[in-house]
């Protein structure tokens, strides 16, 4: 609704009176304080078509994140939520342990940026922890994880703890996943000896994934993709 109002206003031809520039000159000290407060924010939206119970969401997330009254959740319009934290360490803990969900609906998050507005806010990608299965033990290394992660899209982190404590069975990578493309379930990998092998990807905390089109944000019943091979063909099942 808010974005529609904004687009409607911006498409109108303004009168001479309306076209006069209105300068915003905030007091510097107060402006710096506002920016500091907003810098401790995450912006989020649940990837779902149905209306969500905001009160239930607030109660659940405060309990899940163990923040209580230290977390302020403000509804800023069109299903958009602003999560205000008191400490950067708490914000980064929530961000680094995402994705989160409510009633099997994924909470898309992004870090607050200066100049962000309600209408144009989009959620194109978000980091996920991905397990890479099927590699030989000699390729379960940080270097291999970096190669695979960057080939997927953008690598955030390789979990090196398993290498230091015990024999790992899989690589664990944190990679930015795009919301506008089907999830990759695996693929071929070329080893140092030019041997080709296939690996499988397992996404941690994965909800709201459609088995029909492979996209995040809706389930099988809500999928609008056309049936190309009959109604019972689900390639991502």
DSSP 5-27: HHHHHHHSPPPTTTTS-------
Contact 132, 170 (CB under 8 A): yes
Q: Report the half-sphere exposure of 237 (CA within 13 A, side-chain side).
A: 6
CA separation for the pair 146, 12 (Å, rounded): 49
The CA distance from 163 to 70, in Å, is 36
Which residue has 């409607």 as its token pair?
A: 8
Answer yes or no: CATH 3.30.70.330 is held by domain 2-111. Answer: yes
Full-prediction pTM beyond 0.95? no
Per-residue pLDDT of 53-72, as tens digits, reads: 888 989 999 999 999 888 99
Query: Which of these, 104, 99, 126, lies nearest to 180 by C-alpha position?
Result: 126
Q: Residue 111: pLDDT band by 50, 70, 90 thresholds? A: confident
Residue 214 is encoded by which pair of tokens?
């492979």
196-237: pLDDT as tens digits: 989 999 999 888 888 888 888 887 778 877 776 665 667 776
Residue linked to tokens 């800023």: 76
Q: Are 112 and 39 in contact (CB under 8 A)?
A: yes
Three-state secondary structure call for residue 39: coil
Contact between 186 and 148 under an 8 Å Cβ cutoff? The reply is no
Q: Domain residues of the chain, as ranges?
A: 2-111, 125-206
Q: Looking at residue 112, what is its pLDDT?
A: 82
Share of the chain above pLDDT 90, in %: 32
């Amino acid at each position: 609704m808010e974005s529609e109002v904004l687009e409607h206003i911006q498409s109108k031809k303004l009168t001479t009176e309306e076209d006069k520039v209105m300068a915003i000159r905030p007091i510097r000290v107060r402006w710096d304080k506002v920016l500091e407060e907003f810098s401790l924010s995450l912006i989020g939206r649940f990837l779902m078509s149905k209306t969500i119970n905001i009160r239930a969401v607030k109660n659940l997330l405060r309990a899940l994140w163990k923040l209580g009254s230290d977390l302020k959740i403000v509804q800023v319009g069109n299903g958009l939520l602003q999560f205000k934290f008191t400490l950067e360490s708490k914000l980064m803990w929530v961000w680094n342990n995402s994705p989160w969900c409510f009633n099997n609906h994924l909470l898309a998050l992004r870090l607050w940026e200066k100049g962000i507005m309600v209408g144009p806010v989009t959620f194109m990608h978000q980091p996920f922890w991905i397990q890479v299965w099927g590699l030989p033990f000699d390729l379960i290394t940080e270097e291999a994880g970096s190669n695979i992660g960057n080939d997927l899209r953008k690598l955030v982190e390789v979990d090196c703890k398993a290498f230091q404590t015990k024999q790992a069975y899989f690589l664990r990578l944190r990679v930015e996943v795009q919301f506008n493309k089907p999830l990759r379930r695996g693929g071929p990998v070329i080893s140092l000896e030019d041997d080709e092998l296939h690996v499988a990807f397992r996404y941690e905390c994965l909800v709201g994934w459609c088995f029909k089109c492979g996209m995040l944000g809706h389930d099988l019943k809500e999928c609008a993709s056309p049936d190309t091979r009959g109604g019972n063909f689900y390639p991502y099942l």
